[in-house]
Structure 1
Amino acid sequence: MIRPSFLLQLSDTFLAVVCLMLAHYLRYGRLSSETLIFEGGIFKLASYVVVVITISYLFNLYEFQQFNELWRVAAKIVFALTVSLLALSALFYILPGLGFWRGVLLISLLLFGFCQILVRWLIRKFSRVSFFANRVLIVGAGSLAKKISEIVPSDHNMHSYTRFVACTDKVPVVDPDLIVGHINDIDQIILDYRPQKMVIALTERRGNLPLKEIMHSKLRGVEVYDAAAYYEHVSGCLMIEEMHPSSFIFNQRFRMTPFMRSYKRLFDVALSGTGLLITAPFFPFIALAIIIDSKGPIFYKQLRVGENEYEFFVYKFRSMSDGAEKKSGAVWAQKNDPRVTRVGQFMRKTRIDEIPQLYNVLKGDMSFIGPRPERMTFVERLKESIPFYSTRHFVKPGVTGWAQVRYPYGASDEDALEKLRYDLYYIKNYSIALDFKIILDTIRVVTSGFGGR
């Protein structure tokens, strides 16, 4: 299913093109080969669209939950357009052949900003109409059904609802007032409540599931989900508790082809090499700050677990006091950890301490994107308590990853389980598009300081 945020990005892309052409028409009174269509103009158009859409994404302008406070959205759009103007001006200064006249650029951004506000106002206005309501019927009334109900996206549409259908005579775990009937009457319940989505959330389905009636519902247009599939679709991670070994064996998406590995390696070398070239001039200043702040080496190396559970040394800028673990041994980093130095706190918030890991990527020990590499002490313990934990080691660990941008810093076994949900989602759904999304989210995370410790 296509996510609404993706449709909004497509809409903004179309509007960006229209606004740019309209700006040229308003400025010069014509649309000619000098505009955007011929003589290399398509590259100008592409550079403009990529910059404005990317910056809009970084400012969270595709998060529907925020559209209820339109003044906040408008403020974000103003900031995003300002950053877009500066970024495009810098790009056109470096590559003059991609540039427009400044009047055209300014007018196009003003028009685009107005269109963005208008589109989001329309979404806010019409999202409360019954046609856009989110109506979810959960088949089941136990703990699994309750867990699914907790992740159903909330909105302010009075026609939206989440209701349950009982399947057994057991005492329900969910609110009894939200149970609208028994599974035997599912056909009539569908006709009365007209749900858009039906989620099958039964721990034991054998003998409790009327397949014929559910098939009829699907043929009427109701989207039918397995609980695990719905959980993955909504939350962007996997419900490990409901997974079996067959989930990996017979699912065609849990695999890394030679082409995918080759692409990732080329991608890793290009990004890590570029990253080291850009950041290398700053290394002396970072080193000086570390030396002034505390005694000890500039760099810190530690054994971590990589692909196929082979250990390797990961390199970082030292952010803790020298010998911080001599007494305590291997422990999770905690919030406001006293072992972290003053400079280390800043480096951890901004992820500067992880820049030397680009050398690990260049060597091939790590990938730019993948699960976070953990220490063998933690891995051995987590393998015993968390099912499928070893699966994350079938790919190279990464400097950043889906779990790193979607979940705060892990500091316990419970956090490790939650992050594994995201790691396995990444392995299952690996694609170039997902890698690109993670890179954009990483930029947003680094600038916001999300999850740093």
Structure 2
Amino acid sequence: MSLRWFILIIVDVLLVLLSLYSAAVIRLGYPEVTSKLSETSTFYTAFIFVLAILFASHLMDTYDFDRNTRKREIIINTLLGAATSFFLLSITYYVDPNIMLGRGILVISIAIFSLLQYVWHVIFYLVGRHNPRFSRRVLVLGTGSLASQVGEFCSAHNRNYTLAGYALCNCNGASNNEKQGESVVVPHDLIVGNADDLMAATLVAQADIIVVALSERRGVFPLRDVLRCKLNGIEVMDAPSFYELIHGKLMLEQITPSWIIFSSGFRRPIYFSICKRYIDVVLSLTGLFLTLPFFPIIALAIRLDSPGPVFFRQMRVGNKEKMFNLFKFRTMRQDAEDKSGAIWATKNDPRVTKLGSLFRKSRIDEIPQLYNVLKGDMSFVGPRPERPEFVEKLKQVIPYYSKRHFIKPGLTGWAQVRYPYGSTIEDAIEKLRYDLFYIKNISPFLDTLIFFETIKVVLFGRGGQ
């Protein structure tokens, strides 16, 4: 929890209370509101209101400093947060009518808060986003290529962390057959100390976190000094864990089977699997019920746009590498792969029809996959299913690629909301980083976050080709 995030949250809480109070005064009048302030039920109602507003704002990424880079993004997230909070509070009031905000107070208070939140966040992002006092300081243990990478992560990719310096690791106690240290590729002026006295280096750098970034630990890892820092309350983590923390994906080049085995994560309790399947069935039935009336219109538009079938079936690789037929609305010419065979779609792909391009951008072509979710071939959230021709190729060149098939593929996924559409092996590697992160950290909260992120992806038209 960074200081920047804490300040943003605290002010938002005050703005929520101010909005609720202002709406109540507008609708009920100052005397009546003042008389109710001492009642216990008022505090409970206000608490539920604040909780719902903050939860909705968090789901909509209004506190994500790396994604809210423009005023348009901020206002869209604010409006989505307002809509989500209204939905959550409506459900809450249905369950417990005793805490309901009547006489239009709910709508007015959310409207006032949305305006105040937008103004406050714009001011905060313009003034405070680059202030180093809001960042956590990172001391990198190591001076080699891996340490240099970690330093770049701090300086270029995340505003919540600031590079405090590097600690040189060259332990004199190693044997002649063991590595005495690693080459120095980081700027010498950023080396603030030595691993032989890591605690002193930490104090000099005023570091909050130590990231162990040694290319080779055997014979050079300063166990005693790192343990001393850990016991003195300084957070210690390795480079892959730090990379995962700031990027939301895994550092494939540095993780090993033992890292996967001993890391926290990669757990799927049986109750979670049952709940996930129940939600998949409910959402797929709801989605099909709402969209089926539009199927004839979509079918007519496809037939008028180009000759060929309305639906498109394609073999995909599912859970435990079992094959299944994936259904979509057809967006390409009927003879799209007669000559080329199986190839990835590209930007401005000539095989895509005019209507198909619109369907892909709006994700309308994915609607029939709700049937796959209902059947159990897919889940609502998970790694996107790939074609078997590509899977066999990617398994040969990308380590751990087959691990993405340990759960059901999804209609949407972490890679889809974090990375644009890919058509190369390099893109497949990047998406695998996100897919493995999802498998490692799978949870109801992450699924909910992906669901709401998908709404934003559709609204902004990101990623489709």
- Consecutive unaligned residues in structure 2, runs of 5 or more: 171-180
Whether the aligned pair in 2 keeps the contact of 1:13 and 1:53 (CA below 8 Å) is: no
> Normalized against structure 2, the TM-score is what?
0.82
Q: 2:339 aligns with which of 312, 327, 348?
A: 327
- Consecutive unaligned residues in structure 1, runs of 5 or more: none
Partner of 2:299: 287
CA deviations over 1:211-259 (Å, ceiling 9, x no partner) = 2222222333322111111111111111122222223334452132221
Whether the aligned pair in 2 keeps the contact of 1:305 and 1:312 (CA below 8 Å) is: yes
Equivalent residue of 1:313, what SS? strand
Give the 5 Å matches for 1:183-222: 183-222=195-234
Moved more, 239-248 or 272-281: 239-248
Partner of 1:274: 286
Q: Which amino acid aligns with 1:140?
A: G
In structure 2, the CA distance between the partners of 1:3 and 1:417, relative to structure 1 (3 Å rule), is: farther
In structure 2, the CA distance between the partners of 1:256 and 1:278, relative to structure 1 (3 Å rule), is: same
Distance 1:387 1:50 in 2: 42
Task: Note the C-alpha offset of 1:293.
Answer: 1.4
CA deviations over 1:81-119 (Å, ceiling 9, x no partner) = 599489959x98xx9986743466335532553255346
Equivalent residue of 1:208, what SS? coil
Equivalent residue of 2:312, what SS? strand
Give the 5 Å matches for 1:285-434: 285-434=297-446
Q: 1:106 aligns with which of 102, 105, 108?
A: 108
CA deviations over 1:398-441 (Å, ceiling 9, x no partner) = 00011111111121112111111111111111111111000010
In structure 2, the CA distance between the partners of 1:348 and 1:237, relative to structure 1 (3 Å rule), is: same
Equivalent residue of 1:64, what SS? coil
Task: Note the C-alpha offset of 1:132.
Answer: 2.6
Task: Note the C-alpha offset of 1:261.
Answer: 1.2
Q: Which amino acid aligns with 1:451?
A: G
Partner of 1:20: 20
Task: Note the C-alpha offset of 1:269.
Answer: 0.3
Distance 2:354 2:450 in 1: 29
Distance 2:137 2:84 in 1: 43
> Normalized against structure 1, the TM-score is what?
0.84
Give the 5 Å matches for 1:188-267: 188-251=200-263, 253-267=265-279
Equivalent residue of 1:275, what SS? helix
In structure 2, the CA distance between the partners of 1:26 and 1:56, relative to structure 1 (3 Å rule), is: farther
Moved more, 24-33 or 397-406: 24-33
Whether the aligned pair in 2 keeps the contact of 1:48 and 1:88 (CA below 8 Å) is: no
CA deviations over 1:180-232 (Å, ceiling 9, x no partner) = 34433433322221112211011211221212222222333322111111111
Equivalent residue of 2:389, what SS? helix
Give the 5 Å matches for 1:154-193: 160-168=162-170, 170-193=182-205
Whether the aligned pair in 1 keeps the contact of 2:27 and 2:103 (CA below 8 Å) is: no
Distance 1:373 1:156 in 2: 30
Whether the aligned pair in 2 keeps the contact of 1:128 and 1:156 (CA below 8 Å) is: no
Q: 2:138 aligns with which of 136, 139, 157?
A: 136
Partner of 1:435: 447
In structure 2, the CA distance between the partners of 1:109 and 1:154, relative to structure 1 (3 Å rule), is: farther
Partner of 2:153: 151
Whether the aligned pair in 2 keeps the contact of 1:237 and 1:425 (CA below 8 Å) is: yes
Equivalent residue of 1:410, what SS? coil
In structure 2, the CA distance between the partners of 1:211 and 1:123, relative to structure 1 (3 Å rule), is: farther
Q: Which amino acid aligns with 2:154?
A: V
In structure 2, the CA distance between the partners of 1:55 and 1:243, relative to structure 1 (3 Å rule), is: closer
In structure 2, the CA distance between the partners of 1:176 and 1:327, relative to structure 1 (3 Å rule), is: farther
Distance 2:433 2:3 in 1: 20
Q: Which amino acid aligns with 1:301?
A: R
In structure 2, the CA distance between the partners of 1:46 and 1:276, relative to structure 1 (3 Å rule), is: farther
Distance 1:66 1:250 in 2: 31
Task: Note the C-alpha offset of 1:176.
Answer: 3.7
Task: Find out whether 1:64 has 2:76 as its counterpart.
Answer: no
Partner of 2:119: 117
Tell me how many residue pairs correspond in the alignment: 443
CA deviations over 1:298-354 (Å, ceiling 9, x no partner) = 110000000111100000011111121111111111111111111111111111111
CA deviations over 1:144-178 (Å, ceiling 9, x no partner) = 22222232265999x94342223356543333443
Partner of 2:175: none
Equivalent residue of 2:56, what SS? helix
